[in-house]
Amino acid sequence: MTLGRQGELLAQLRELLLPSSPTSAPVVKVEESSRPLDTGHPAASCDGRRRRRRGSKRGRDDKNNRGDQHEEPAAAQPHHSCKRRYVHTAGFEFYGRRVQPSRQFLPHVSTRLTDMVGLLGRRRCLCRRKKQQKSSTSSLVTSVPDFDGYQWRKYGQKQIEGAMYSRSYYRCTRSAEQGCPAKRTVQRNDDGEDNGGAAPKYTVVYMGEHTCTANDYLEAPVILETAAAAVPNTTSTNKIRPDDDDDTINTIAPTSSAGSCTSTTTAAGIGSPAISDDITWSSSSSSDYVDDYDYGLFAVHDSWAAPPAAASAALQEMENFTGPIRSPVHIAAADCWTIDDQLLLQLVNEPIFCNF
DNA sequence: CCAATTTGACCGGA
DNA sequence: TCCGGTCAAATTGG
């Protein structure tokens, strides 16, 4: 590849990842709501029938006040209080649709309460539902729960007892068409309100294995790691396609339960400013510890070389980044798509995050 | 019109 | 009865 071509591709990558329009500052907004919380839940009236429309959006007032569905500090919204605290740390978009900051923000009135109220009007006669079978699970702690190389569809959100933040439930987007049983839950850790300015951490629990065809993940977020160049025995090219069969590729497929480990995964400055992450893996299985985890998209190494200074700086910036995150990088990858180490290094060493 | 998300309702195990 | 997990109607925007 010629240098000119490299530069061109680099420019394209940068444009993809760092659009010219400046990103807005992180939104941490505290608002006073004139509307009392719905402790007398409108979901059911006195006769037990539902009045409230499901899935209804809040008013425009809530627009832009919510970008992260895992962000609701429910504990900070006591039912007796009229105060709502809107925190926007990252406008994730992961499902092929745009971010939905305009989606309603309903302070999480206790679902227990709504359950109790709902009991009054319960009349649905649903088929017996099978309780989720206990399958192999693995969990990790990450600040970027959505960049795991798979496409997930949210099917529920629940305020968990004793937890500050609600838990979101996802299933593989292929669950319907291919019967893929993979699921995951994402819950923000109770790491305090301020968290010292660091990116919030989320506990992601993966359940079940992906059975959908890997080829469908061509549009999965592209995530690279800086250490690819620092790890010994790296070949001249690092394939980043998640569906590649090459076992030598260091990638992450989070649903694989490969035992417990604590690793550091770094992004090569592309994919998203927030990809840099400390990932702590744990697993319910008792598999032996392995050196390199072949996981799909990320490269994880137990022996981790210190990243270059420039990369560290970039990583720090990524850690500090709390602004809106744009879509995952959707690259129409051709077969055997590869990325050159030199390009990787160039991406790493360029101060591409100075725009933030 | 379709796909994705929201969120109240409902189920079932503990 | 409590509580976590799941369903599915409603809603929205492309």
Q: What is the pLDDT of residue A278?
A: 53
Q: What is the pLDDT of residue A145?
A: 81
pLDDT, tens digit, for every residue of A241-277?
A: 333 333 333 333 333 333 333 333 333 233 333 333 4
Residue A20, CA distances (Å) to A11, A206, A265, A349 in order: 12, 36, 27, 20
Q: Using CB atoms within 10 Å of the CB of residue A113, give its burial: 0 to 12 exposed, 13 to 18 middle, 19+ buried.
A: middle
Calculate the angstrom distance between C1' of C6 and CA of A57: 22
Residue A277 belongs to a domain: no
Task: Give dist(CA A329, CA A277) in Å, integer.
Answer: 17
Is A176 (CB) below 7 Å from strand C? no
pLDDT, tens digit, for every residue of A156-211?
A: 999 988 888 899 999 988 888 888 888 999 998 877 655 667 778 889 999 888 88
φ/ψ bin of A46: left (φ > 0), alpha (ψ from -120 to 50), beta (otherwise): alpha
Residue A168 belongs to a domain: yes
pLDDT winner (highest mean) among A26-30, A105-109, A273-277, A314-318: A314-318
Residue A103 belongs to a domain: no
- Which residue(s) pair with A264 in the sheet? A278
- Which residue(s) pair with A30 in the sheet? A85
Residue A16 belongs to a domain: no
Residue A24 belongs to a domain: no
Residue A146 belongs to a domain: yes
Q: CATH number of the domain that A169 lies in?
A: 2.20.25.80
Strand C bases near protein CB (under 7 Å) are: 2-14
Strand B bases near protein CB (under 7 Å) are: 3-13
- With distances taken from each CA to the C1' atom of nucleotide C9, the closest residue turns out to be A54
Count of structural domains within chain A: 1
Residue A43 belongs to a domain: no
**Nearest nucleotide, C1' to the C-alpha of A208?**
C5
Is A162 (CB) below 7 Å from strand C? yes
Residue-number span of the structural domain to which A155 is assigned: 141-192+199-207
Task: Give dist(CA A331, CA A335) in Å, integer.
Answer: 12
